[in-house]
Structure 1
């Protein structure tokens, strides 16, 4: 790998004023960098998808082989979980795969910083870098895997999902938690409310990743959910959880439709 050449490109990327490509679907292309990991990202550690993968192994294939962990600047404390980005390799004649100009990835994990290393030489996920740690299939779609890191451009795109949004119920007594997966359109969940048959709408807080919680006893009640995506679109699924629910079960609600 030509480290001096790549470092020069990375330093140039960092010196540019970057547009925010994280919030607008189909927005402007934004500069970043990308590496790859050989380990499976199917579990989606920091997004919480590992629990569903254990309960429903087929959910791993629903996410697809093209997944990514992202640096903190992009991860936004879990706000990016489930969102989809299109990436293309740029400005590297040796390592960019020009036969496949772009790839769409789903964000499933957080790429932790390493402040013991310089941001332009190993500390790729250090704040405030824009960085994607791709699954090997995703990286190989846009670059030759002999490269350790390549400059890329990225932008938000719609998420193509099969089936409905799923609500996996966890918790105990007065601690009610739900893992929300398989979200279409912008892929993200920005706000969640839950309603029992004996309660009003209760706002839920992001516990971590795509796990949301509230301190309420909702046992013995049919449950409805109201979701708001990062783009402001709302979706309400009424009485999708029967009153006989128990912790550990998963239920399906409505799905955001793509434009």
Structure 2
């Protein structure tokens, strides 16, 4: 390869890398962030996504309540966001370190307060309320509120999707957690040994329901996330599964 060709190739590589950097920068959006004090380091143990104890499902302190425009009526439960504190010399940590948070709750509006003072989650504000421990990794805890940049990122999970059973003989519900890929469940189907594939409806958060008696049957699940990817886990629950039990399937 001649010198001129080598120079041209190098320029093309650098141009490609620079284009990728610009594209990544364009993915960042602006929002604000605050924290809530919890003695166990998590944000709360019960929230609008229905996850229950956030430590038991491995989200722990890296959990966040989202304002209404981001929460989108619970459809973004389980989604992962990368955050960094920006544009505040006094409160942001040097170097603007980033953290990855999982959407686990809804931050309700407070229309009795201004959106600039107290009404952080008033529509159409984009806001994250996180644990004190997570907040301390990007900003100083003396701050009441900080400007941040955020973007959706892939959720890296250990192990497979988890399916927690609940309901009754006439009402079946499953909580789906530990979802990889984009983390946002769009649709769920369930199949027993005596049924075909049954579409499930979102009850609330990541709880999905079906008005079918599925007891005494091994259960398989088909889960579709917002990117369009679909994953099928066969015979996740054995025939003698019980309400309250959790079973593990495949992972995206």
**What TM-score, normalized to structure 1?**
0.83
**Structure 1 residue 42: deviation in Å?**
4.8
Contact kept in structure 2, 1:27 and 1:156, CA below 8 Å: no
The alpha-carbon deviation at position 58 of structure 1 amounts to 5.6
Correspondence 1:140 to 2:136: yes
**CA apart distance, 1:165:** 0.9
8 Å CA contact 1:27, 1:155 repeated in 2: no
The answer for unaligned runs of 5 or more in structure 1 is: 1-24
Runs (5+) with no aligned partner, structure 2: 1-23
Counterparts in 2 of 1:203-242, with a 5 A limit?
Answer: 203-242=199-238
Separation in structure 1 between the aligned mates of residue 243 and residue 197 of structure 2, nearest angstrom: 20
User: Are the structure 2 counterparts of residues 172 and 26 from structure 1 closer, same or farther at C-alpha, using a change threshold of 3 Å?
Assistant: farther
Who is 1:91 aligned against?
87
Residue 185 of structure 2 is aligned to residue 189 of structure 1: yes
RMSD: 1.7
Q: Which residue of 1 aligns with 2:77?
A: 81
1:26–1:156 contact (8 Å) kept in structure 2: no
Deviation of the 1:64 alpha carbon? 3.8
Task: List, as ranges, runs of 4+ consecutive aligned residues in structure 1 with deviation greater than 4 Å.
Answer: none
2:11 is matched with none
On the 8 A contact 1:41/1:108 being kept in 2, the answer is no
Is the Cα contact below 8 Å between 1:26 and 1:157 reproduced in 2?
A: no
Normalized against structure 2, the TM-score is what? 0.85
CA contact (8 A) 1:100 1:141 kept: no
Q: 1:120 aligns with which of 91, 102, 116?
A: 116
**1-structure distance, mates of 2:98, 2:35:** 15
User: 2: distance between equivalents of 1:227 and 1:91?
Assistant: 40
How far apart, CA to CA, are the structure 1 residues paired with 2:129 and 2:46?
12
Report SS of the residue matched to 1:108. strand
Larger Cα-atom Rg: 2
- 1:41 maps onto 2:43 in alignment: yes
Aligned to 1:168: 164
Structure-to-structure mapping, 1:11-26, within 5 angstroms: none
Q: CA deviation at 1:91?
A: 1.0
Q: How many residues align?
A: 226
Q: Is the 8 A contact 2:85 2:96 kept in 1?
A: no
Would you say the 8 A contact 2:86–2:96 is kept in 1?
no
Using the TM superposition, give the Cα deviation of residue 101 of structure 1 relative to its aligned residue in structure 2, in angstroms.
2.0
**SS of residue in 1 equivalent to 2:215:** coil
